[in-house]
Amino acid sequence: MAEQPVKNTSDEIDLGQLFQLIGRGFQKLFDFIGSIFSGIFHAIITFLLFLQKNFVVLTIAVVVGAVGGFLADMYKTPKYISKMVVEPNFNSVQQLYNNIDFYNDLAKAKDSLTLSRVLEISVGEAATIKKVFVDSYSDENQKIQLFDEFIRELDTTTVKALDYQSYLENFNSMDARFHQISIVATDDSTAKKVQPAIIASISANEYFKLQKRINDENLDLQENIYNQQLLEIDSLQQLYKRVLEKEAGKPMQGTSINLAENGGAQNKELELVQERDILKDRLVVLNKERANKTSILNVISDFPARGVKQKGFWKSYKFVSPIAFLVLTIIMLAIRNLNSYLKEYQKSE
């Protein structure tokens, strides 16, 4: 009975020490967080005092940079941008992107000789090209149409496991139907001159030419089948008309014989009319596909005869130059202050 109070006292001491340790841990955490905010506040105040002390010098730097940038924009060579929208067929989109990347690499490397040869222009005209790039051109409606065409080619099991959101997550620029080619040059007429060479570089590919030829043959074969079916429907319609005329001329007596069990010649003729309409719709779809596949690379919108002058305040010297002068001045003043601090520190040692 005498040992019980000793045990309680020991437990109370252990719990008290545990709470003290937890309290000191929280205190250290709060002190650490406070020191971080205090350091940030001190840095901000120091920087503001620095700006206040050197306000005149920094203002002069911004003004000088703005004036210099304005003059540089006035005398720099203007650049013009031209855009062309195309629709690649027969899986030629990858070749298109590879070719455009190749042209851009030549322009960045300033290899005007090679660029003039592949684009079939003069070396001087090739030297005016500064940038060539391509990006996809699609909206939500086009993505829905592409998704509809995509699932039509899949089996039922795969379609059930795929939804539109999953399709969008895997959608990339290569999947788009339309693509926009842009050329930035110092001559506003250069882009129009290189358009034939860009198109020919895709159309001259033997693989794509083979795919186009096979597609044309398949379309011709399908069209012949549809036309043959229409002729057969016309023949059957003429037959049913003659049967109906003969039945109409018979006297209404005795037993009549129908051409078919399900409604006779009149119903059969109605079915043929419906089948004819279906074949006509299929021919319309076929003609649309033929129109879309007449070329390996369809040009939806040509390069304009003259490019548009490239503008943009954020890329102009009047915007970049003041910032550059301001940053450079701040760095120089910071170095000067650091040098003064080091000298004072050296004297105090």
Model pLDDT for residues 190-225, shown as the tens digit of each residue? 999 999 999 999 998 999 999 999 999 999 999 999
Q: What is the mean pLDDT of the chain?
A: 82
Residue 284 lies in a domain: yes
Amino acid at 317: Y
Both 123 and 32 in one domain: the answer is no
Domain of residue 36: give its range.
4-74+318-348
Q: Which residues pair with 135 in a beta bridge?
A: 180
The answer to whether residues 144 and 279 belong to one domain is no
Span 137-191, pLDDT tens digits: 766 666 666 666 666 666 666 656 666 666 666 666 677 889 999 999 999 999 9
Same-domain pairing of 136 and 205: yes
Q: pTM higher than 0.75 for the full model? A: no
pLDDT of residue 318: 83
48 and 144: one domain?
no
Q: Answer yes or no: is 19 within a domain.
A: yes
Q: Are residues 140 and 172 in the same domain?
A: yes
Q: What are phi and psi of 184, to 5 degrees?
A: -105, 125
Q: Are residues 139 and 108 in the same domain?
A: yes
125 and 155 both lie in a single domain = yes
Helices and strands of the chain, counted as H and E runs? 12, 5
- How many domains are there within the chain? 3
129 plus 86 within the same structural domain: yes
- Residue 219 CA to residue 158 CA, distance in Å, equals 28
On whether both 112 and 32 belong to a single domain, the answer is no
- pLDDT for the residue 261: 45
